[in-house]
Amino acid sequence: MKALDLLSSLVVKGRYAIIVIVVLAFLLASYNTQNIQMNQGYETYFSKDYKEYQQYTLFSKKFGGGVASIFVFIKGDDVVNYETFDFALKLGREISKVDGIGRVKSPAHTVVNVLGYLPADENKLKEIAYEYGAFYIPKKSLMLMEFEVTADESQYNRIAKEVEERIAELNPPPGVTVEATGNPMIRYQIEESIGQSMRVMGGVAVLLMVITLVVVFRGVVEHKKYLLLPLLVSILTATLAFGLMPLLGIPLTEVTNAIAPILIGLSIEYAAQFMGRYEEERRKGLSVVEASVISIKSVGLALSLAMITTVIGFLSMVFSGVPALGWFGIVSAIGLVIAYLLSITLLPAIMLTTDRSERKRREEEGVPLTERLLDTASLLSARHYKIVLLATLIITSASYFGYSKVPLQTDFMKYVPQDLPAMRKFNELQSLVGSQDRIIAVFQIDSFDPDTIKEFEELASYVLNSEQNIIDYSSLGKILKMQFGSIPETSYELEKELARIGDDRVSSYLSGSSYAIYFTVAPMDWLEFRDLYERVTREIKFYGSDSPFFLTGDVVLKMFVADIIVNGQNKMTLASFALVFMLLLFVYRSPRKAIVPIIPITVVILVNGGLMYVLGYSRTLVTASLNSLTIGLGIDFSIHVMERYFEERRRGLSPERAVEITITNIGKPILTSGLTMAGGFAAMLASPFPIMSDFGVVSLMAILLSLLAALTVVPAFLVFTDNLNKTEKVKSGEEA
């Protein structure tokens, strides 16, 4: 309390300095937001010391083209003709000039490789094309071209942009269209969507905040010129937080682009709580200075606890092990600290500077709907607390089943906007050619000769025949057998045939002392794949190869992301609960006061999980943070209710009356902050990213449930424990 006394004194004396400092900080932050970098992909999901990610990175550097490809769709009425094939060859030459593009595969290139030229006789062209390149002609109206990408992920955007430019420079034959897809193209288009998504969500969040403040908060502030002050705080908060991102080295990703609407929604809570208490004190006839000082002191403790617990919830995301979630948590936590400081410094400074009018006591002009709802909540919680607690227990128990059954979504392609041109083509590609998921076995070899290739061919065949979920494999030995009929017997012959295959193709399988085999796997969920991954590891060891090896590939990393989601969620949840409980216990020195805010949040987490299961939502990288986020956000409401309840009890009011006064006086600010907070998350529904829009829905449910629990379960539990203590005291008195 001494700190709050000192702060209130500083605010009264330094009101003008505070305003000037905030304005300067806002201008600097606005300028610095131009330096925010964008990032995406596996490096935002895995820490650099994660072993499996290191193996994937090592494989990417060594083999390059085995990691990603760009697919070009050439469509027309009938593309298997000389003119279209000649265009494909020209397109291949142009795109091959892009630094980072390796081998080109297409039916046109296959025909040239077989015959040495492109035949003008279209019957002969069709015969060779369908015999040797049928995979790249899934139907006569479509030809596929595959360009292997040899550069690492950091070059994908540049490569994709250059590929688009070179496609645009060439004029296809009449009636023929050309479009590109593949991981680099998708990443490039995703990055463009991230900035657009953030602007859309930010705009929607501001609009929802304005609507909520006008509808709900107008009953709290008497002078409408102050109606949007909480929104000012939230916009300042978001800008200052984003301005710090470049200084902290935090990029904008699919996850961190949601920070703006979230901060806009969360920041209003602190401002709404201060403004609610300030207006309450002014209506009592107190001066601006008195009302400001009392508001800072009375709301300051609750706001401090609410801020710290929410910060703990966000910072617990660091325990997830996912860099993108850690960045999200850090920037959000910093933003909340900024919002807290602005609410108890800038807002009173503005009021001290501009508020010159008197407040009038409200005259009864009918009871608004919100007040009737709050009165109902207070009566229900105070007088029928046993029914409230029993109903809560039943609902929570039923929800636990659903919470434990919520599925996981580890397909990153489902996280991104499905209407991106490259994404639509990617989905079409999958429907045409089937599964492209591959487990890549990378072996360390001491020497490379025909015997080595034969040994690995036998191993690959053994694994293929042992596992029904492995549908094919690709290896250097298999290419040699397909192209030349057999594997050479001597090293001299091997070198000659590898030269005929081409270095760019060989490098996909052989790099220095590393040899790769690509196993194509059937589509399956992550649990089934984890079993397959473990079985393949055992099969290779059982076969008896002496070469050290590891398994990698996109689908392998997706499996480890699923593990991170599950384990990370558990770590974040336990860390949040433990840290929040210890904080409350330290502050209140009372197990009862420490446990009260945690009970409704536990209920909310389980009930929200049950709703996710019923409504068909999945856990993703982002929704994995929902538990710790709910603990951090939802506990705010409970703390505000509990603080005011104990304040009224210290005045001598009965538990029932204390609940009624508490809900009546702070219910509307809590309702305002809860609805504005919900509005911030609801703004994510406007995001084109499914991962963000789904997160918006489940977060919205969690906030509304937290709000409901704070206004019903918390007061009911407080009355229950107070009456229980009273009964125990009476019994102990009788026994004495």
**Which of the given ranges, 187-201, 208-222, 321-335, has the highest pLDDT on average?**
321-335
User: Per-residue pLDDT tens for 405-450?
Assistant: 888 776 667 777 777 888 888 877 777 766 567 899 999 988 888 8
Over range 114-131, report the average pLDDT. Answer: 87
Would you place residue 360 in the very low, low, confident or very high pLDDT band (cuts 50, 70, 90)? low
Short-list 273, 346, 347, 279, CA closest to 310: 273
Token pair for 37: 């970098």
Tens of pLDDT, residues 487-499: 888 888 888 888 8
pLDDT class for 403, splitting at 50, 70, 90? confident
For the chain, domains (ranges, CATH) are: 1-35+220-356 (1.20.1640.10), 59-187 (3.30.70), 368-423+590-736 (1.20.1640.10), 446-546 (no CATH)
In DSSP terms, 511 is beta-bridged to 514
Identify the pLDDT of residue 23.
Answer: 95
Question: With 80 as the cut, is the pLDDT of residue 666 above it?
Answer: no
The predicted pLDDT at position 734 comes to 46
Q: Do the strands 514-521 and 177-182 form a parallel or antiparallel pair, or are they unpaired?
A: unpaired
Question: Per-residue pLDDT averaged across 136-161, rounded?
Answer: 85
pLDDT of residue 366: 43
Among the ranges given (86-95, 328-337, 469-478, 584-593), the one the predictor scored with the smallest mean pLDDT: 584-593
Whether the predicted pLDDT of 365 surpasses 60: no
Confidence of residue 19 (pLDDT cuts 50, 70, 90): very high
pLDDT tens, residue by residue, 610-635:
999 999 888 877 777 778 778 877 77
Identify the top-confidence range among 383-387, 471-475, 681-685.
471-475
Q: Which of 84, 71, 138 minimizes the C-alpha distance to 111?
A: 84
Three-state SS string over 211-234 comes to: HHHHHHHHHCCCCHHHCCHHHHHH
Name the pTM for this structure: 0.74
Q: Identify which of 41-45, 365-369, 644-648 has the greatest average pLDDT.
A: 644-648
700's tokens = 């919205």
Please give the distance of CA 129 from its chain centroid, rounded to a whole number. 45
Beta-strand relationship, 514-521 and 470-474? antiparallel
* Residues written for the chain: 736
Res. 371 pLDDT band, cuts 50 70 90: low
Rounded Cα gap, residues 495 and 489, in angstroms: 11
**Is the CB of residue 332 less than 8 Å from the CB of residue 267?**
no
Helix (H) or strand (E) holding 68, with range, is strand 68-75
Q: What is the mean pLDDT of the chain?
A: 83
pLDDT of residue 558: 81
**Is a pLDDT exceeding 90 seen at residue 74?**
yes
**DSSP 8-state secondary structure symbol assigned to residue 619:** B
Amino acid at 628: S
Contact 669, 299 (CB under 8 A): no
Of 184, 570, 242, 619, whose CA–CA distance to 415 is shortest? 619
- Which one, of 260, 328, 310, lies nearest residue 620 by Cα? 328
